[in-house]
């Protein structure tokens, strides 16, 4: 491999000749060979996006020449749209502020600008008016907001549409309700589906509420929150440029000391991701319980049969999409512990667990969005009611006795249920023996109870 020599404040170091990064990136690459989890490219894209906006703000305040501003803007756009991905090799497990990734971006932008004939310094020009301590969390917030608004929420909304369609398709179908995994009173199957739908709509509301805080940006705080080396209008000019570029509604955090030292907004946001995963786990479990069988389970619904389920049992088909979604939910719940602990750490003016927080939140968002898409497409939309099984379970349910309690009282209704269960009878047959209520009156009440 051919090398070139790069220099930084610590001296010279050899860098692969075909790469655009500089000395600080190379030092990090050599010193942190941990795990292999590369910093998500979504964070790199957010960094170049905010640096582009910073350059415009610095030019407007007279700190940066038009030539250098144009070079930074053009280079950032190239990187944003996917060029030069291989030039961002650093792992998540690095300095807790993200400084090495920030400098990786600065160095690549500066070295790329040489081709356009403009000489940029990675610190003095590309990082002008910035500190990793404010620009990295700003980029992380941007990347997370992008991913939630443009990937995760649309995936959830698509599943909500599937739920609405299933409600309409299953209108009028009555099934047995269940509590404590035991028979309960009858309900409409469409009502059960509406419960799933409401979990998803509530989760979106929670996410949107959490995004309000995530859209407050640290940019302009620099080293410790004082805004040293920035102009008075720099932060608001940068954010205005960002909103113009993205069409979103980011705003300046009005307390930069808080913005640098606390990760409460991201901890809160991941809590909403965890809540979504909890709801998805519940839906997945409901679906696979209801589809269990085909002979020995509940069997009140069928789901699409996508692939063989066993390497030894011929013809077996398993609820694989439910299982995949459940595993993602477990991962997100685990990530929430990591994010919570990391958000509680750091000392004085800076949280120094930013890379792992960014990595885990982006992982949660992407896993949730992908698994929801997969579950919706390959399982949820194909749910079919087994009307005969539902009808049989309702008609033979002992919990229909609940409707008789106003007529014969709780004690007599319980007596009827126990007698029917112990003697393997339905309620009407048990009443013939116990004669607790007139047969015609009882049948009328039971008929009404099954029309929900």
Active-site residue list? 180, 310
Instruction: Write the DSSP symbol of residue 293.
Output: -
DSSP 181-227: TEEEEEEEHHHHHHHHHHHHHHHHHHHHHHHHHHTEE-TT-TTTSS-
Whose CA is closest to 108, among 127, 91, 134? Answer: 127
Instruction: Write the DSSP symbol of residue 371.
Output: H
- What is the crossing angle of helices 354-378 and 41-60, to 10°? 120
- Dist CA 417 CA 411 (whole Å): 10
- Can you name the residues that pair with 14 across neighbouring β-strands? 5
16 by Cβ neighbours in 10 Å (0-12 / 13-18 / 19+) ranks as middle
- Return the structure tokens found at 297: 């389970």
Instruction: Write the DSSP symbol of residue 149.
Output: I
Phi/psi at 145 (5° precision): -60, -45
The CA-atom distances, in angstroms, between 391 and each of 92, 188, 189, 220, 299 are 55, 11, 11, 65, 12
- Return the structure tokens found at 199: 């979990």
- Can you name the residues that pair with 365 across neighbouring β-strands? none
SS3 130: coil
SS3 4: strand
- Dist CA 437 CA 451 (whole Å): 21
424: left (phi over 0), alpha (psi -120 to 50) or beta: left
Whose CA is closest to 123, among 199, 224, 22? Answer: 22
- Return the structure tokens found at 216: 């407050």
Whose CA is closest to 367, among 441, 274, 253? Answer: 274
């Amino acid at each position: 491999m051919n090398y070139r020599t790069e220099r930084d404040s610590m001296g010279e170091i050899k860098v692969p000749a075909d790469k655009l990064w500089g000395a600080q990136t190379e030092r990090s690459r050599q010193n942190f060979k941990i795990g292999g989890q590369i910093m998500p490219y979504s964070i790199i894209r957010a960094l170049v996006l905010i640096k582009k906006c910073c350059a415009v703000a610095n030019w407007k305040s007279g700190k940066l020449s038009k030539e250098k501003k144009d070079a930074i803007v053009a280079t950032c756009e190239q990187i944003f749209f996917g060029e030069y991905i291989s030039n961002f090799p650093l792992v998540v497990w690095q300095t807790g502020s993200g400084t090495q990734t920030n400098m990786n971006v600065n160095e690549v932008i500066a070295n790329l600008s040489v081709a356009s004939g403009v000489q940029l310094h990675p610190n003095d020009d590309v990082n002008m008016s910035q500190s990793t301590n404010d620009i990295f969390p700003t980029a992380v917030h941007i990347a997370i907001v992008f991913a939630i608004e443009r990937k995760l929420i649309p995936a959830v909304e698509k599943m909500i549409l599937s739920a609405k369609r299933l409600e309409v398709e299953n209108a009028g179908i009555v099934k047995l309700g269940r509590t404590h995994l035991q028979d309960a009173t009858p309900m409409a199957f469409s009502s059960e589906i509406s419960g799933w739908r409401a979990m998803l709509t509530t989760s979106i509301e929670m996410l949107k509420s959490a995004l309000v805080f995530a859209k407050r940006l640290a940019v302009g705080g620099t080293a410790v929150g004082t805004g040293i080396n920035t102009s008075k209008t720099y932060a608001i000019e940068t954010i205005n440029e960002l909103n113009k570029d993205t069409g979103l509604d980011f705003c300046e955090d009005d307390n930069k000391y808080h913005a640098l030292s606390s990760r409460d907004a991201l901890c809160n946001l991941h809590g909403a991701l965890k809540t979504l995963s909890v709801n998805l786990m519940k839906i997945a479990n409901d679906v696979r319980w209801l589809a269990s069988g085909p002979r020995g389970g509940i069997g009140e619904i069928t789901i699409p049969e996508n692939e063989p389920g066993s390497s030894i049992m011929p013809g077996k088909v398993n609820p694989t999409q439910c299982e995949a979604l459940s595993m993602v939910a477990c991962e997100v719940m685990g990530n929430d512990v990591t994010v919570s602990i990391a958000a509680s750490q750091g000392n004085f003016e800076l949280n120094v667990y930013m890379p792992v927080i960014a990595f885990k939140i982006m992982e949660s968002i992407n896993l949730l969005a992908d698994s929801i898409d997969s579950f919706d497409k390959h399982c949820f939309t194909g749910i079919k009611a087994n009307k005969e099984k539902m009808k049989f379970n309702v008609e033979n349910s002992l919990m229909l006795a609940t409707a008789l309690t106003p007529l014969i009282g709780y004690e007599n209704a319980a007596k009827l249920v126990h007698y029917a269960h112990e003697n393997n009878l339905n309620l009407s047959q048990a009443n013939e023996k116990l004669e607790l209520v007139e047969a015609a009156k009882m049948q009328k009440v039971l008929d009404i109870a099954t029309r929900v």
